[in-house]
Every structure is written in C-alpha cells, then in structure tokens.
Chain A
C-alpha cells in the first residue's frame, strides 16, 4: 500500500514536470490545441475510470454530462449574464444534482441494465440539445463567450494550456488521494463482489452514487472548459459516440489506473492526428491499432506494460 502511494506521488510529480516542460517544445497553436484536447478528455476519463475501473460500474452516457456542462455554462454566462466562473460552478452543481437524482434508481441496476440506463440518459440529453433550438441553437450549435475571471480574459491556446494543465493536475491529485483512502478501498471491494462488500459493512449503493456523481461533475467541468476554450459548441459533443469514445479511452489506457486513463485519452486524441498522412487508410489503421492493443494487451496499455516490466525485472 505504501509502495502504491509512493508510486502515485512519483507519477503526480512526473506529470507536473511534463506539464511545466511541455511548452518549451510545443511549436505552434495547433499542437497546443491537441494537447489541450488531450487534457480535457483526460479529466473526463480519469473521472470515468473511477466509476468503471474502481467501482466496476459502466456508463455509456458521460458525453451527456460533458455536453450539459458545455451548454449550461455558456447559456448561464451569456443569456443570464452570470460571471463565467460562477456559471461553470453552477453547471457542475446542477449536473451533480441531476446525476444524484438519477443515480439511485440507475445504480440499483447491474451489468447490461446499468449500461442501458446510462445510455438512455445520454441519448435523452443529446436529443434535448438537438431539439431545443431556440435555447441551444439546435444541430448547428451555438457560439460561446470567452471565459473571464476577475476581469482577466482567458484567450489564446497558451493561456488555456495552463488552465487545463492545472485542472488536470488537480484532478489526478484528487483521484490518487481518493483511491488510496478508505473510500477507494471500499470501491475496489464492491468491484470485486458487491455481496462480499455489503457483508463487510460497506454501504454499496452510497459509494456507487458518490463515485457516479463525482465522475459526472468532472465531465461537466471538462465540458464547460472545452466550450469556453473552443468558443463554439455543437451537440456532436454529447452524442452516444462521444460516450463510447470516453469509455474506449479508459479501457485502452487500462482500467483501474489513473495514469492509464490519462494515457488512453492522450493516445486516442493524438493518434488520428498522427495518422492523417495515411488519408483513406486513416480510419482503417486507427481501428487496427485499437483492435491490436486489445488483443495483445487486454488489460489496457498501462497495466499490461507495467506487468511486463515487472516480469522483466524479475
């Protein structure tokens, strides 16, 4: 356990160093953009990983929460003239309340039924964003006002890089601490066996709800940040496919590994950009890489590589 914690701290320090050092080698705004998107996706995936990897629950609707955050924040700041930071927090709280309200009935379900329920929730959100044209601009989307705090406007990729970097670091720190707390152990216990966990006195439903709400709030914050960064938002951010993308990132990077979720988000965000020279074979290659990874590293990148490394050392 101590060793585990030390590893986590080492990872956190390494991540901080990478975030600080990276701008020295980033040549232009385009690369900044890709790195920022990696950071935003990673925040969602780290939260989702708590739910999937640690608590053993599945959500196919997280893009819905991302989308709610992405739309609520600009709507509040633009239409109601709230300060963007307040709007972001309000959006996160609203999503927290919503996820709490739906968590109780949803999380009583298991396996396929849970997947179905979260899928349905995500699709409902997606439909609302598409249909409520006068509010959301419909399928063509809506512009988002720039983010500002205490009179300072956040503009340009370099500024957003530090905002997203700081948020990512905070998310990783929060998660590592959570995983190493009694809560984290309780989550892992109920992942192993809900019955056994309940027998040892763990309030299974409470913990499931807690982690579901936390992951939804993280997705909402990431969504708000994305909306302000991009300056324009369309419902394609809240589609079922986006939900699948998030889950794929978590599974590819390695479940029950915070840094796995981070690596998964980085790979899936950057890979399409790297593969563009292949033109027509881009999607084919992308698919082949995914299939290959899951065939040869079924536990995901980070856990599989760590295992292999450990075996080599022995």
Chain B
C-alpha cells in the first residue's frame, strides 16, 4: 500500500518535471523579448482577467508568427493571481527576479496593481496596468502606466451629457465595491467643478437584491432631475429593474461598469433608455467609417471572436491597448533597455487603441480624455450610439 502511494507520488513529480521545460518554452534562436503578465484569470475578477489573458496570448502568437519585433520573438509569461494582491506581489517579484522580464503588463484590479507599484518602481521595470483606479497614475509614478479609462473620465462624460440636456440636480446611488466607491468619490468631487448638485447620496450593500428603498428616497429628494448609479456587475440590472418597478421617469444614467450585455439581459427589458459612457468597442458596428477607432476596434473584435468563439468585452480591449503600446514603444526604441522603453511608452502619441486615442506625457501616464468615451443608450435590447 505504502509502496504504491510512493510510486504514485513519484509519477506525479515525473509528470511535472517533464512538463516544466515544455511549458516554459524551448529556447529560441534570436534573443526573445521577455514580456511578463500577472492577471486575475481565476477568482472573482476572472470575467476581467480571462479576456485579458486571451487577448495577450492571441496577439503575442500573431506577432511571433509574423516574425516578432525586429526579428525578435516575444516570450510571454502569464501568472494567475486569482485577484489577490498578495499573489500579485509574489508573481511580480518572480517576473522581475526569476524570469527577468523586460516589460510587465497586468494587475487586473486596482488592489493588485497598487500592491506591486513599490516593487516595480524599485526594480525599474516598465509596467502597464489594466486596472481602473486613478490612484495608479495620480500622482504619476516613473515606471507605471495604465490603459483603462478612469472613473473620473466616465463621471466627467456623464456630467457633460447631463448638462447638455439641462439636468443639474442628480440623485446618486452607489454600491459598496471598490469601483462603486471610487466612482462615488469622483461624483462628489467633480460635481461642484462642473456645476452639478448632488441632491441625494444613497448606498446599498454588497449582495443586496433590492434597492427600492433607496430609489424611493432619491425620488423624493428635492428637485431631483436625473438619476445616476455607480456600480458594477449584477446589481446594475437590479437597479434598472427596481427603477422600472417604481415607475420612475427620471433620466437614468449608469457608468461604464454596466457596459456589458449581461446588464441588458439581466434587466429583462428594464434597461431601455439607460444612458452610459462606454468604449468604442461596445458599438463598433455603429461607428461611422470615418471614426478613427473603427478599423482597430473591428479588427480586434473579428480576431478575438474568430479565435475564442465568445463575444469581446471592453476588458480585453485594455489588454490589447497595453500590449500594443508596449510593442510600439519597443519598435521605436529598437532595443529592450528598460529606461529607453519606459521613455518611449511615455512618448506614446496618437496611438489608436480599443479604449481610445492615447497621448501620454511625463505628467499623464494614461493619455485618454473624456472624448475617448462614447455615450450610448439602451434601445431595443441593444446599445445605441448617441451623438
């Protein structure tokens, strides 16, 4: 009995020993460009990390098939953090110390990203984050960049749209997640600057399945003209449903946190008329041919959907932009010396990506403006581009 177990254990380790070199990739002829990624492929943020990993792997394979960058192939290492900051930190140390990567992409969530910034800065490795929080690039950190829009850009875009319709008194509802809180903070901070008044500021708990109490309060707030929900995931549909059940007629706004088909489907018709800012990727077919992002966005959509047989999400778009900002920077640099690549990323100008058109500067390591968002409205169960 014990002999058998021992044998089984030995066999197990033999399998690992054989797979190890295969998985890490055989040595390549030309000195490869080492790209490291740490993403939340499993865990709560898997719906973000999954498309990000797919996108990076898809395009690294394409680049390598086409002969790499200046004849150098990209050697990609991806680690799964499970969405945990602790794991992220360990994997980043691994990427830097063990895998000796030239560039790091990743950090699906803001927590994962913030946890590794100190290490990345000390080691001096160019790092492009895929997380939303604006504290990642504000204040600017020398080696840290990011591609997703910040919540402030979204809030700003929403306020523009409200003002254009003559709405200035807003009833706000937000959830308790990290995204929700950051969004709420930005709403409260930006409102005075933009001449908006927040007449109600309600919150709901994580996992709440009914928000009619909060909505009722917002309805009775003095002079309320519009409703804004800061939230993410399943609650977005619940809010839309409750809103409809109460028969509210206020203009209804949500954020890019609701920009997925599951929001419309989950609301079962109640999402009709909801407005939100979204990346061009979401309405790629409605973009006019003259739109600068049309070509990039539709090419990405077609390639992704052909390969993975699943609809694209805007999250994969963040990874697409991060990868190509890095690739372009390395091409311009002509080498992978870390400081040169960092400086070239910082010099990214007019890069047309899935999230918008990026122009980075030493004081702006994101490089997007509110124009990179497109206002959309739900119509007949689908997204309808406004403007």
Contact residues of A with B, CB < 8 Å?
Answer: 28-31, 33-34, 37, 130-131, 133, 138-141, 143, 157, 230-234, 236-237, 272-279, 282-283, 289, 292, 296, 308
Contact = CB atoms under 8 A, between A and B. Distances in A.
B387 to A, nearest CB: 32
A32 B73 CA distance: 31
B5, B78, B117: which has the most chain A beta carbons within 10 Å?
B5
A143 B181 CA distance: 18
Nearest to A28: B97
Closest 3 CB pairs of A and B: A139-B178, A277-B23, A28-B97
Contact of A140 (B79, B111, B117, B206): B111
B109, B114, B182: which has the most chain A beta carbons within 10 Å?
B114
Nearest to B113: A140
13 contacts: A29-B93, A33-B94, A130-B176, A139-B178, A232-B85, A232-B118, A234-B84, A236-B84, A236-B111, A273-B94, A279-B78, A282-B80, A308-B2
Contact of A296 (B5, B16, B87, B111): B5
Contacts of B84: 234, 236
Given A277-B19, A283-B42, A33 B115 contact: no
B4 to A, nearest CB: 9
Given A133-B181, A283-B42, A30 B98 contact: yes
Given A274-B16, A277-B19, A277-B24, A33 B182 contact: no
Looking at chain B's contact residues, the main secondary structure is helix
Interface string B113-138: 01101100000000000000101000
Interface of B: 2, 5, 8, 12, 16, 19-20, 22-24, 42, 78-80, 83-87, 89-90, 93-94, 96-98, 109-111, 114-115, 117-118, 133, 135, 176-178, 181-182, 206
Nearest to A33: B93
A140 B93 contact: no
A143 B86 CA distance: 13
Nearest to B179: A139
A156 B118 CA distance: 11
Contact of B115 (A37, A130, A141, A283): A141
Contacts of B42: 283
B8, B86, B133, B182: which has the most chain A beta carbons within 10 Å?
B86
A275 B23 CA distance: 11
A139 B16 contact: no
A141 B19 contact: no
Contacts of B176: 130-131
Contacts of B96: 29-30
A157 B86 CA distance: 15
A139 B110 CA distance: 9
A232 B98 contact: no
Contacts of A289: 12
Contact of A33 (B20, B90, B181): B90
Nearest to B23: A277
A232 B16 contact: no
Contact of B93 (A30, A143, A232, A282): A30
Contacts of A273: 90, 94
Given A139-B178, A274-B16, 9 more contacts: A37-B86, A139-B181, A140-B109, A140-B133, A141-B114, A230-B85, A231-B118, A276-B80, A277-B19
Nearest to A272: B87
B178 A140 contact: yes
A29 B12 CA distance: 28
B224 to A, nearest CB: 25
A273 B97 CA distance: 14
B89 A278 contact: no
A269 B32 CA distance: 31
Nearest to B118: A231
B178 A236 contact: no
Contacts of A296: 5
Contacts of A30: 90, 93-94, 96-98
Contacts of B177: 139
B24 A138 contact: no
A47 to B, nearest CB: 19
A292 B86 CA distance: 27
A130, A273, A277: which has the most chain B beta carbons within 10 Å?
A277
A33, A139, A237, A275: which has the most chain B beta carbons within 10 Å?
A139
B97 A232 contact: no
A237 B85 CA distance: 8
A279 B23 contact: yes
B97, B117, B182: which has the most chain A beta carbons within 10 Å?
B97
Contacts of B78: 279
A292 B5 CA distance: 9
Contacts of B111: 139-141, 234, 236
B178 A37 contact: no
A240 to B, nearest CB: 13
